[in-house]
Chains A and B, each alone.
Chain A
């Protein structure tokens, strides 16, 4: 798959997840939306240099997976709260999408990182 197409798909997917998350947590969704912009700018920057598409895809995917990890941590901590008699957070469809995409994004990050020299 071409990098530009991958970036386009990731822009749409991350943007959609961000939009869905905004309803539950405005700030979380808004900042997740910035990841979508990273992919979008990747499409534009790749016009100047092809390799930059890979850079955007790699970094965007990594940050997306960080957001997914944070949501998992947040849910885990709310489930720990059961010990104190608190009700845990509800897992929404947006959360499931975020987590699945988070795993996928991490795999994308690992794959794209191989294209650069490790320093």
Chain B
């Protein structure tokens, strides 16, 4: 029989690290809250038992006010795992113990894990696990997921609890006369209505008193218990929270001894990086360095790959002669897929830079710093964190909005996230910027990123004006400790993010390349001007004429809807420079484009319809087609408008 275990805890306490240590999995572990937005599963074996471990999203409470909280709560309530492990951080135990108390009210088989115990020792903290165990009535295991300390003890404890060798003695916290009387009253109604099922009556009563929306509706619908007023709910909440924190603090006084602390390294770094005046300039400096690494440092590796693909394509043509098959392989496959793969070094470098910032713990600070700006646009730093992910790929950016508690802010973030310029658009920028702005490649691309941020902010204003009343959402976020990124974790981060690019190259881009080759080769046997692609492109060309985009560029944009990298593949095939070097690309593109058109084209790519995967993610997350359709129409209109402006302004200066 399989032992089913749920891993719960606050965000960023090392749950995923512990999950990896227990199961040997390689889930990416970030140094910021909200990495696990869906539950993840793995198997561990110990003492002849198979243990199925589910890593739940990090939550601060079980109020179901965000999707994460709902996922975690529903799993514990409905799946009824054999053991629930509550993971806490030794350095911020108080919040973790609050969650523990909540879970103890609904679940009996609970193990408390105090993680990062090595950090506590470094800071002169001594945590007495026996005291904690005595007061909370649960087995307590001290672990360090980083060095594996306590992991075996935890497995032993899980198996022991599942075999009923170890058990927890449920703590019944006294919430004071007033609340206890109310609890008894609600419990009585619940028992009379006989609707309890798997639910614990005391837990249901507490959630009712705290004004949990889902429970209030449930109890009103099934048991006919009247809804509470806002005033009553607030009063109850305060009393319940106070009782819990009083208890936690009294336990912590007993269980934790501490030497007098001086200013920590994290506090010192925070003072500067989140400085009132310096915070934002420092953030932009780091972003600039990330771009420099991506475009300047990595470019030589891209050039080397480019040269290798050129040689490969030439070799194919020399071996097979000039016929449709050699054209398919050299122009279609090598030109199309290779034309995109040459940007792998740039993309991996960008993820390396982002990974370093995330791993070190800087990104949540960036969100905190940017919150001051974001709040003016009715967003918060939490939206900013989702939007930052969009620089890699818009799909996880849209998915990560699940961490945003407020539904309006969440929806606004989903609607504007596609304007954040993702790594798939990077090959288009690099190709055109290197050709038309060889001396200022990094500057031009940096300006596109800045434009993308401005457009995102502008869209936030529009979306808030159109659909919401524009409430301000305060940011409540825990800042993790700084840590030196480990090479292993960085490598996992870069690989996990970057591999999607490679998978796309071997999947959708390969298929699209062959399709585009077919449309460009037939029916005229290689004469692109008379091809099917030309027919399609020329039919759409009049729409793009005000932007001075040729039919080739228009066709590339059309195919780019599938995936933005396909724009480059289409270019290489329709302009016929797939097997050649950058100089040939420059010669081919210069016949139809000048710097102003090229810049307008890049602006269009930056803003127009997100890829199909992002549209699908938006549909999934909003649960309606209304919003993805809005994204498609709005982004197309905006792209057209700003490209038109960019082209006409560019003509004056470029």
Contacts and interface: CB of A to CB of B under 8 A. Distances in A.
B285 A117 contact: no
A66 B289 contact: yes
A84 B268 contact: no
Interface string A19-55: 0000000111001001101100100010000011011
A65 to B, nearest CB: 12
A104 interface: no
Interface stretch (B30-38, B235-243, B300-308): B300-308
B297 A54 contact: no
B300 A38 contact: no
Q: Most chain-B Cβ atoms within 10 A of its Cβ — which of A26, A45, A66, A116?
A: A116
B60 to A, nearest CB: 21
Contact of A59 (B268, B292, B443): B268
B273 interface: yes
A27 B443 contact: yes
A73 interface: yes
Contacts of A59: 268-269, 272-273
Interface in A69-88: 70, 73-74, 77-78, 80-81, 83-84, 86
A56 interface: yes
A9 B506 CA distance: 54
Contact of A74 (B264, B267, B297): B297
B102 to A, nearest CB: 28
Q: Which of A45, A78, A119 counts the most chain B CB atoms within 10 A?
A: A119
Contacts of B273: 59
Contact of A58 (B268, B285, B297): B268
B281 interface: yes
A32 to B, nearest CB: 8
B293 A70 contact: yes
A31 B296 contact: no
A119 B282 contact: no
B278 interface: yes
Contact of B281 (A37, A66, A83): A37
B268 A78 contact: no
Given A59-B268, A83-B304, A84-B300, A117 B275 contact: no
A77 B91 contact: no
Nearest to B281: A34
A106 interface: no
B626 interface: no
A63 B268 contact: no
A80 B300 contact: yes
Contacts of A28: 288, 292
A55 B303 contact: no
A55 B272 contact: yes
A55 B278 contact: no
A71 B122 CA distance: 35
A5 interface: no
A1 interface: no
A38 B282 contact: yes
A49 to B, nearest CB: 9
Max chain A C-beta neighbours (<10 A), residue from B122, B266, B296? B296
Interface residues of A, number: 36
B300 A78 contact: yes
A4 B267 CA distance: 20
Nearest to B91: A119
Interface string B294-321: 0011111101100100000000000000
A119 B121 CA distance: 10
B289 A116 contact: no
Interface string B568-602: 00000000000000000000000000000000000
A91 interface: no
A119 B285 contact: no
A97 interface: no
Contacts of B266: 119
Given A38-B272, A119-B91, A63 B263 contact: no
Contacts of B303: 81, 84, 86
Contacts of A58: 268-269
B66 interface: no
B282 A77 contact: no
A55 B297 CA distance: 30
Contacts of A37: 278, 281
B122 A81 contact: no
Contacts of A34: 278, 281-282, 285
A73 B301 CA distance: 13
A53 B512 CA distance: 57
B299 A77 contact: yes
B446 A27 contact: yes
Nearest to B270: A55
Given A31-B285, A58-B268, A77 B297 contact: yes
Contacts of A26: 443
B265 interface: yes
Nearest to B285: A31
B199 interface: no
Given A37-B281, A63-B285, A118 B265 contact: yes
A31 to B, nearest CB: 4
Contacts of A31: 284-285, 288-289
A51 B264 CA distance: 11
B481 interface: yes
B476 interface: no
A58 to B, nearest CB: 6
A84 B307 contact: yes
A57 B296 CA distance: 29
B100 to A, nearest CB: 23
A87 B454 CA distance: 36
B277 interface: yes
B272 A113 contact: no
Q: Top 8 nearest A-B pairs by Cβ distance?
A: A55-B268, A59-B272, A116-B265, A31-B285, A77-B300, A117-B264, A34-B281, A80-B300
Given A34-B282, A81-B300, 6 more contacts: A38-B282, A63-B285, A70-B297, A77-B296, A77-B298, A77-B301
Interface of B: 91, 119, 122-123, 261-269, 271-273, 275, 277-278, 281-282, 284-285, 288-289, 292-293, 296-301, 303-304, 307, 442-443, 446, 481-482
19 contacts: A27-B442, A27-B446, A34-B278, A41-B275, A41-B277, A41-B278, A51-B263, A58-B269, A67-B289, A73-B293, A73-B297, A74-B296, A83-B304, A84-B304, A116-B268, A117-B123, A118-B122, A119-B91, A119-B264
Interface of A: 26-28, 31, 34-35, 37-38, 41, 45, 51-52, 54-56, 58-60, 63, 66-67, 70, 73-74, 77-78, 80-81, 83-84, 86, 113, 116-119
